Amino acid sequence: MSTAYPQSRLSHISSPTPRKPLKAPVRQIAFRKEYVKDTKTQLVLKSQGDAQSAVAYKVLDEYGSLQFTVTGRKHSDRICREIRDSSGLPLFELHRRTSLTATWAVTLPGSNNASLAIGSPRWPFGCLSAGNFTLSAENQAAVDTKDGDEKKVTLLIERHGNALALFDIVDGDRKVAEVRESIQHNEKLPLTRSSWQKYRPALDLVITSGVDQSLIVTVGVILSDWVFGST
């Protein structure tokens, strides 16, 4: 029985910085440009299955239509998650690493190298707190620009909230997305210590215009695995 969620609930450290309002980035941010929308969108990430499942997470839009699926960590011989489109086509892989300086890597399907992004935990006040990390990525929405700085992006994921988990995804001085425990899509909330056990909540993903939905889905999967325990 996993204790990841109760431990993270009791001991996490929220970001001391004030929360920012949602605001679109000054340039598009993407792993895949086709998933960048020109309006604010909201998705819901739902856990199901286990580590061997072909679908361990499914991602729905506000109308209940399937947008993405994510496999279990041990679904294939590669021991990683595959983020797939609604038809089941692999988009990229999410690998978990043991290094404290590079804990997650996002790669193209079938590749252990050539990372699209690297995720590294942050240590607020010198203490590791589940849900605080940075994601450094090649910005595929800016591959044609001559400005080298435009081709890279570092997102800061900040944990806020106590009663319900809440995470801001910040680009520079702008919050471009947020991930939060869903009140609407969870059948129950962990109001008592006993109800924390095996609790893997649905998460709302709120995404501004100009931001790749598949990128934020990947952030949501990292947060769900880390904070609530992985399948």
96-129 b/e (C-beta count within 10 Å ≥ 16 → b): beeeeeebbbbbeeeeeeebbbbbbbbebeeeeb
The pTM score is 0.88
So what's the pLDDT on residue 189?
59
Enumerate domains of the chain plus CATH numbers. 4-228 (2.40.160.200)
Which positions ≥6 away from 187 have C-beta within 8 Å? none
With H, G, I as helix, E, B as strand and everything else as coil, classify residue 107.
Answer: strand
Question: CA-to-CA distance for 87 and 89, rounded, in angstroms?
Answer: 6
Q: Determine the Cα–Cα distance for residues 70 and 218; give it in Å rounded to an integer.
A: 9
In this predicted structure, what is the pLDDT of residue 127? 60
- What is the structure's pLDDT at 124? 66
Give the residues of the chain that fall short of pLDDT 50: 1-6, 10, 192-193
pLDDT computed for residue 2 by the predictor: 45
Give the pLDDT of residue 97: 82
Q: Please measure the distance between the N-terminal and C-terminal CA atoms of the chain and give it in whole angstroms.
A: 12
For 139, residues 6+ apart whose C-beta sits below 8 A from its C-beta are: 27, 28, 29, 30, 150, 151, 152, 153
What single-letter DSSP state applies at residue 16? S
Cα–Cα distance for residue pair 53/106, rounded to 1 Å:
20
pLDDT tens per residue, range 19-28: 889 999 999 9
Q: Which pLDDT score is estimated for 1? A: 36
